[in-house]
């Protein structure tokens, strides 16, 4: 049985930054497959780091990500873990969530993350001076597509052998 962690990331007080939290809420409204843990981590970096150190074979981050496309565009990204060593700065800030810093924390504690994916959405509204609760219309409309992408990924990963997941080999 494969262990898959689906991690919603975001701050509900920063508009579209809550994308990951909202997608996870939709995923939790349905039956969760065996071996899959779905959790809204919000901005809790340490909680996510420790959950990832508990040994999921695969972690799927769900987060708003600026890639320069139209708001509401959904992305599927397989991050290059080795590039983490090239990022400097504070490792973890307890008041915000930065997935790269979480992965650096895991390494600094002697852990090794399993396979990683990011299902992201191009935001329209992020941090504002006064804060903003609720998603913009294009990001809200993108939630069903993100849910389907995650469902499909979980199905694909569940059909792979454990050995392929640990080595990162593609399924045939």
Convert the pLDDT of each residue in 21-34 to its tens digit. 999 999 999 999 99
- Average pLDDT score over residue span 3-16: 93
Q: Is pLDDT above 70 for 157? A: yes
**Measured between alpha carbons, how far is 40 from 20 in angstroms, rounded to an integer?**
8
Give the pair of three-digit tokens for residue 170. Answer: 């593609």
State the DSSP H helix or E strand holding residue 164, giving kind and residue range, or none if neither. helix 162-167
Q: Is pLDDT above 50 for 95? A: no
Q: What is the DSSP string of 8-37?
A: EE--TTBGGGGHHHHHHHHHHTSPPPTTEE
Q: Is pLDDT above 80 for 67? A: yes
Collapsed DSSP state (helix, strand, coil) of residue 171? coil
Report residue 138: phi and psi, to 5°. -65, -35
**Measured between alpha carbons, how far is 48 from 81 in angstroms, rounded to an integer?**
16
- Average pLDDT score over residue span 50-54: 85
Q: What's the whole-number average pLDDT of the chain? A: 83
- Model confidence at 85, in pLDDT bands (50, 70, 90)? low
Give the pair of three-digit tokens for residue 152. Answer: 């499909």
**103 vs 18: which has the higher pLDDT:** 18
């Amino acid at each position: 049985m494969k262990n898959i962690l689906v991690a919603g990331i975001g701050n509900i007080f920063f508009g579209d930054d809550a994308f990951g939290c909202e997608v996870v809420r939709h995923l939790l409204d349905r039956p969760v497959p065996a071996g899959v843990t779905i959790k809204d981590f919000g901005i809790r970096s340490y909680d996510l780091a420790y959950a990832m150190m508990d040994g999921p074979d695969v972690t799927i981050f769900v987060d708003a990500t600026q890639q320069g496309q139209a708001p509401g565009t959904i992305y599927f990204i397989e991050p290059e873990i080795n590039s983490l060593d090239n990022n400097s700065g504070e490792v973890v800030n307890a008041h915000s969530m930065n997935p790269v810093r979480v992965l650096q924390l895991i390494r600094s504690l002697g852990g090794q993350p399993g396979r990683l994916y990011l299902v992201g959405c191009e935001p329209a509204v992020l941090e504002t001076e006064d804060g903003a609760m609720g998603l913009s219309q294009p990001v809200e409309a993108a939630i069903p597509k993100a849910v389907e992408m995650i469902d499909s990924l979980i199905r694909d990963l569940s059909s792979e052998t454990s050995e392929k997941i640990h080595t990162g080999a593609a399924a045939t």
